[in-house]
Structure 1
Amino acid sequence: MEIALFVVQLLVVLGCIVMGTRSSGVGLGLWGGTGVALLVFVFGLTPGSPPVDALLIVLSVVLAASMMQSAGGIDWMVSVAAKLIARSPKQITLVAPLVSFLFSVGAGTSNILYPLLPVIQDLAYRNGIRPSRPLSLSVVATGVALACSPVSAAMAAMVTLTDTAPWDFELIDILKVTIPAAVVGIVIASFVVNKLGKELADDPEVQAKIARGEIPAPSGSAAAVRAEVTVTTAGRNAAIIFLLGVAAIVIFGLFKGLRPLDGDGNPVSMTPIIEIVMFVVGTIILLVSRPKVGEIPTMSVFKAGMVSAIALFGLAWLTDTFLGAHTELIASSVGSWVSAAPWIFALGVFLVCVLTTSQSTATRTIVPIGLAAGIPLGVLSGMWAGAFAGIYLLPTNGSQIAAANFDTSGTTKLGTKLVDHSFFIPTLVLAVATIAAGALFGLLWGG
């Protein structure tokens, strides 16, 4: 009887996730909340705990990042990233993804990639490199970047799950595994992706466009391409303040002695530290760069952050309600499978990322199962990072669509069969390479 109820309730959870995925956006949160209602009122389960700590981190980070964007900080970061990419145009399939990754880590969002896409496309094409190669890997690299950012919504969810007893696995413990794993994964993937597709000179579609005068022939010019953004002193100052805030969070994570003490004489946990630092960062940006506060709710970072928070609220509450009622069963059955084959955990995170296109939702849904199964936290963190590439397995993400539209050569395709798009192989290669590297680094020094 217990198994039957477990299966039925699991189907309710999965059904709500599927329906939320179809609705997308805030629909994920709404269906999550509806699932909680079904589990509580129909099956009599005790409501789980809403992810309050994670939500507060997301809200504080989104507020500070939106202040930075309003002041022009994102534009300044984009201009710097464009210059870095332009310095090595011949190695753009490696350099562009690494720069996209780095700036997504610093900003805590993959939205920074959008203004870089035409820069990457133009530089690649000018130098006779198939644009789909750097474009596709740059897009996918921003997915794993959110497992390496101290200020991403996914990291907020991860920290609140692991930095309390009995794990006490803090932000810096996660970063020292995820960052090197992601870098190794990107480097490995760049070698594979650089072999995908025909060279421009051998591509009949590209050559036909050139012959018709639709696009110019590759010029071979290594001239730097400027991002189409307006750079201001206020924007530069806002970005520097925000990045210093990110650095402060990392330093507080590294050196517990710098944190204030709580009532029990122990260093304050990183959850409130992140929130405090981000509020201070937002206030300093307000005083120094003078962004228009009334515009904050219209910023793309703010909108995306609020949608993520709502989705996180509903689905995380749903899974916490379900998992809380079946902890022993999951630990003894599903947990044993995951313990015997930890790759099942990575597959679970990957698939939830595919279905929901939300790394924070995948974190709140699957990581508790990995914790219950007793996977070493270093290994768990490394595999968790690699699985984040899964949000790009299907060609439905905004940055994928934008990359295809910016590629005037037509080499970046969204496909017609779900698996024939330009991002499919880069997603799989980056996921596998990062998961493998993450598991190794987790065993070596992850704890």
Structure 2
Amino acid sequence: METVLFVSQLLVVLGCIVMGTRSSGVGLGLWGGTGVAILVFVFRLAPGSPPVDALLIVLVVVLASSMMQAAGGIDWMVSIAAKLIERSPRQITLVAPLVAFLFSVGAGTSNILYPLLPVIQDLAYRNGIRPSRPLSLSVVATGVALACSPVSAAMAAMVTLTDTAPWNFELIDILKVTIPAAVVGIVLSSIVVNRLGKDIADDPEIQARIAAGDLADPHADAQAVRAAVTVTTAGRNAAAVFLLGVAAIVVFGLVKGLRPLDAAGDPIAMTPIIEIVMFVAGTLILLISRPKVADIPTMTVFKAGMVSAIALFGLAWLTDTFLSAHTDLIAGGVGGLVTAAPWVFALGIFLVCVLTTSQSTATRTIVPIGLAAGIPLGLLSGMWAGAFAGIYLLPTNGSQIAAANFDTSGSTKLGTKLVDHSFFVPTLVLAATTIAAGAAFGALWGG
């Protein structure tokens, strides 16, 4: 009877995730909350704990990020990123993904990539490089970047799970595994991706379009296409304040002695530190750059962040309700499988990312299982980061669609069979290389 109940409840959880995925956006949160209702009122399970700490971090980080965007900070960061890419146009398949990764880490969102897409496409095409190569890997690199950002929603979920007893695995412990793993993964992936598809000079489809006059000669001295961004002093100052806030969070995570003490005389946890620092950063941006507060709810970062928070709330509450009711069974059964084959944990994160296109949801859903199974925290963090590439396995993400639309050469394709798009191979390669590197760095430095 117990097994029947477990399977029935698991089907409810999976069914709500699938239905939420079909609805997308805030539908993920709605179906998660409905799943909680079924488990509580039908199966009489005790409600789990809503992810309050993670939600509060997401809300305050989204607020500060939106203040920066409204002040022009993201436009300023994009202009800097474009200059970095332009310095090495022949190495764009490596440089562009690394720059996209770096700025996504700093901003805590992959949305910063959108204005860079036409820059990457133009530089690649004018240098005779197939645009799909740097475009596809740049898109996928922003996925793993969120496992390396102190201010991403996914990191908020991860920190609130691991920065407590008995694990006490803090932000800096995660970053020292995920950042080098992601960089190694991007470098190795660029070698593979740089060999995908034919060069422009050897592609008969592109050459036919050039001959017909539908495409400009890549070597013509035509005016380069650039993202329409406006760089201002206020934007530069806003970005500087925000990035200083990110740096302050890293320093507090690295040096516990700088933190105030709690009632027990111990340094306070990183959760309130992140919240406090981001509140201060947002206030300083308001005072220094003076963005229009009324514009904040209209910012793309704000909208995306609120959707992520709602999805995180519903689905994380659902999974916590289910996992709390079956802790012993999962730790002994599923946990035993994960312990014997840790790659199953990475596969779980990857698949949830594919289904929900939400790294924070995957974190709150699967990481507790890995923790219950006793996976070493360093190994867990490394595999967690690499599996984030999974959100791009299917060609349904906004940045994938935008990259295909910006590629005037037509080399970046969304495909028709779900597996024949330009992002499929880069996703698998970056996931595999980052997971492997993460496992190595996790064993070397992790807990």
Q: TM-score range by the shorter chain?
A: over 0.9
- Aligned: 1:77 with 2:87: no
Does the aligned pair in 2 maintain the 1:354–1:390 contact within 8 Å? Answer: yes
Deviation at 1:228, TM superposition (A): 2.0
Residue 414 of structure 1 aligns with which residue? 414
Residue 196 of structure 1 aligns with which residue? 196
* Displaced runs of 4 or more, over 3 A: 220-227
Deviation digits for residues 36-63 of structure 1, max 9, x if unmatched?
A: 0000000000000000000000000000
Deviation at 1:220, TM superposition (A): 7.1
Deviation digits for residues 341-364 of structure 1, max 9, x if unmatched?
A: 000000000000000000000000
Does the aligned pair in 1 maintain the 2:339–2:374 contact within 8 Å? Answer: yes
Would the alpha carbon gap of residues 382 and 4 (structure 1) be closer, same or farther in structure 2, given more than 3 Å must change? Answer: same
Residue 27 of structure 2 aligns with which residue? 27
- Aligned: 1:428 with 2:428: yes
SS for the counterpart of 2:125 is helix
Deviation at 1:226, TM superposition (A): 4.5
Does the aligned pair in 2 maintain the 1:79–1:226 contact within 8 Å? Answer: no
Pairing of 1:211-226 with structure 2 (within 5 A): 211-219=211-219, 226=226
Q: 2:296 & 2:207 partners in 1: Cα distance?
A: 45
Residue 298 of structure 2 aligns with which residue? 298
Residue 131 of structure 1 aligns with which residue? 131
Pairing of 1:143-222 with structure 2 (within 5 A): 143-219=143-219
Residue 358 of structure 2 aligns with which residue? 358
SS for the counterpart of 1:344 is helix
Pairing of 1:85-104 with structure 2 (within 5 A): 85-104=85-104
SS for the counterpart of 1:228 is coil
Aligned residues: CA RMSD: 1.0
Q: 1:291 & 1:139 partners in 2: Cα distance?
A: 29
Q: 1:208 & 1:221 partners in 2: Cα distance?
A: 20
Q: 1:211 & 1:38 partners in 2: Cα distance?
A: 62
Residue 229 of structure 1 aligns with which residue? 229
Aligned AA for 1:232? T
Residue 327 of structure 2 aligns with which residue? 327
Matched pairs, number = 447
Aligned AA for 2:12? V
Q: State the TM-score, normalizing by the size of structure 1.
A: 0.99
SS for the counterpart of 1:101 is helix
In structure 2, the gaps of 5 or more residues are none
Aligned AA for 2:328? E
Q: State the TM-score, normalizing by the size of structure 2.
A: 0.99
- Aligned: 1:343 with 2:343: yes
In structure 1, the gaps of 5 or more residues are none
Does the aligned pair in 1 maintain the 2:28–2:315 contact within 8 Å? Answer: yes
SS for the counterpart of 1:412 is coil
Q: 2:61 & 2:164 partners in 1: Cα distance?
A: 21
Q: 2:215 & 2:252 partners in 1: Cα distance?
A: 51
Residue 108 of structure 2 aligns with which residue? 108
Q: 1:143 & 1:220 partners in 2: Cα distance?
A: 34
Does the aligned pair in 1 maintain the 2:118–2:226 contact within 8 Å? Answer: no
Q: 2:352 & 2:186 partners in 1: Cα distance?
A: 22
Q: 1:401 & 1:159 partners in 2: Cα distance?
A: 31
Does the aligned pair in 2 maintain the 1:297–1:303 contact within 8 Å? Answer: yes
Deviation digits for residues 204-223 of structure 1, max 9, x if unmatched?
A: 11111111211101117799
Would the alpha carbon gap of residues 222 and 109 (structure 1) be closer, same or farther in structure 2, given more than 3 Å must change? Answer: farther
Residue 316 of structure 1 aligns with which residue? 316
Residue 55 of structure 2 aligns with which residue? 55
Deviation at 1:225, TM superposition (A): 6.4
